[in-house]
């Protein structure tokens, strides 16, 4: 596999750090979109292996990781991230590509498709955020399945030991059950850009107070006319019931569930996850 090249792109609101693996093949390139908003792309580095047969581009979105943080809070909005992706892709010579979005990256992928559908060959939506209302409803249901003492703690102050213990139990069940977390995931969690995350989402995975409130891209899902693959773990915080439902909203959707997996199933079951991606990408090239 070719050595990865890295650099900076002077994007909307600040520079974007990018990494590109280019095997110089005719296969359709792939762009990877990380979650958050505000989690650096480190935790997706296990997908670099796909660069052995197609160009793979990943970048830290504005405000996190090695990219710049915008000065104006008004830039923390979906449109900014869509425009930054378009500029980066165009200046990198990527006119048509597969688009992979994990978690919040799934919402970004759908929003990009809605604005530039002719640019996207296919969509891979891994444990995606599509509807804020649906995400919060799933979170409430999963919290209701925790032991009573954890439910009570999560309803109280975040400054208590009990709250932190309950939070870790939720993450163990539904975010990543590897112990310890892989270094790439730990780097992304440690590098979370609190300003962007809290402005757009909120204080944690299951409390939505930011400017994404009310966003629902279900109409875009219904309108998809390109191949779209939906992936999640059986114990994912993006629950199988919800993700499977999205996959059935258009006639081009497909759904794969990984038994025993959580929100970061690509790290828990890397071989199966990559094999599923390869098969889909090859079929849609």
pLDDT value at position 259? 98
Task: For residue 98, indicate whether it is catalytic.
Answer: no
Q: Which two tokens stand for residue 31?
A: 């762009």
Pick the catalytic residue from 103, 122, 131, 247: 103
Give, for all 285 residues of the chain, the pLDDT tens digit: 889 999 999 987 889 999 999 998 999 999 999 999 999 999 999 999 999 999 999 999 999 999 998 878 888 999 999 999 999 999 999 999 999 999 999 999 999 999 999 999 999 999 999 999 999 999 999 999 999 999 999 999 989 999 999 999 999 999 999 999 999 999 999 999 988 999 999 988 888 999 999 999 999 999 999 999 999 999 999 999 999 999 999 999 999 999 999 999 999 999 999 999 999 999 999
Rounded (10°) CA dihedral 84, 87, 93, 95? 90
Question: 112, 174, 168, 114: which is closest to 140 by C-alpha?
Answer: 174
Query: Catalytic one among 34, 98, 174, 263?
Result: 263
pLDDT of residue 79: 95
263 in active site: yes
Would you tell me the crossing angle of helices 240-247 and 132-144 to the nearest 10 degrees? Answer: 150
| Annotated catalytic residue 236 | yes
Please answer whether residues 208 and 202 qualify as being in contact, where contact means their C-beta atoms are separated by less than 8 angstroms: yes
Sketch out the chain's domains with CATH numbers: 5-131+183-284 (3.40.50.1820)
Q: What does the pLDDT read at residue 130? A: 98
Alpha carbon 259 to its chain's center = 20
What token pair was written down for 226? 């390109």
pLDDT of residue 1: 80
Catalytic residue among 98, 127, 236, 266: 236
Structure confidence at residue 71 (pLDDT): 78
For every residue of 262-278, DSSP letters joined together read -TTHHHHSHHHHHHHHH
**What is the distance between the alpha carbons of residues 189 and 216, in angstroms, rounded to a whole number?**
26
Q: Are the C-beta atoms of residues 46 and 270 closer than 8 Å to each other?
A: yes
Q: Which DSSP letter does residue 118 get?
A: G
């Amino acid at each position: 596999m070719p050595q990865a090249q890295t650099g900076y792109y002077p994007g909307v609101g600040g520079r974007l750090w990018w990494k590109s693996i280019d095997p110089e093949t005719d296969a359709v390139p792939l762009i990877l979109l990380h979650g958050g908003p505000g989690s650096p792309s480190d935790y997706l580095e296990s997908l670099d292996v796909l660069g052995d047969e197609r160009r793979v581009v990943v970048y830290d979105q504005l405000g996190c990781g090695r990219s710049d943080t915008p000065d104006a809070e008004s830039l923390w909005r979906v449109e900014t991230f869509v425009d930054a992706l378009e500029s980066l892709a165009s200046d990198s010579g990527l006119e048509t590509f597969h688009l992979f979005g994990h978690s919040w990256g799934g919402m970004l992928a759908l929003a990009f498709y809605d604005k530039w559908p002719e640019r996207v060959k296919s969509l891979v939506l891994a444990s995606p955020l599509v509807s804020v209302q649906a995400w919060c409803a799933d979170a409430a249901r999963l919290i209701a399945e925790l032991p009573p003492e954890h439910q009570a703690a999560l309803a109280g102050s975040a400054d208590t030991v009990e709250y932190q213990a309950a939070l870790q139990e939720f993450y163990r069940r539904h975010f990543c059950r590897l112990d310890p977390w892989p270094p790439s995931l730990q780097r992304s969690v440690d590098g979370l850009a609190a300003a962007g995350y809290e402005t757009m989402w909120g204080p944690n995975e299951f409390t939505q107070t930011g400017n994404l409130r009310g966003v629902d891209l279900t109409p875009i899902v219904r309108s998809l006319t390109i191949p779209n693959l939906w992936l999640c773990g059986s114990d994912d915080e993006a629950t199988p019931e919800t993700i499977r439902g999205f996959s059935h909203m258009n006639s081009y959707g497909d759904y794969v569930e990984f038994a025993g997996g959580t929100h970061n199933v690509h790290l828990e079951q890397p071989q199966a996850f990559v094999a599923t991606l390869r098969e889909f990408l090859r079929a849609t090239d």
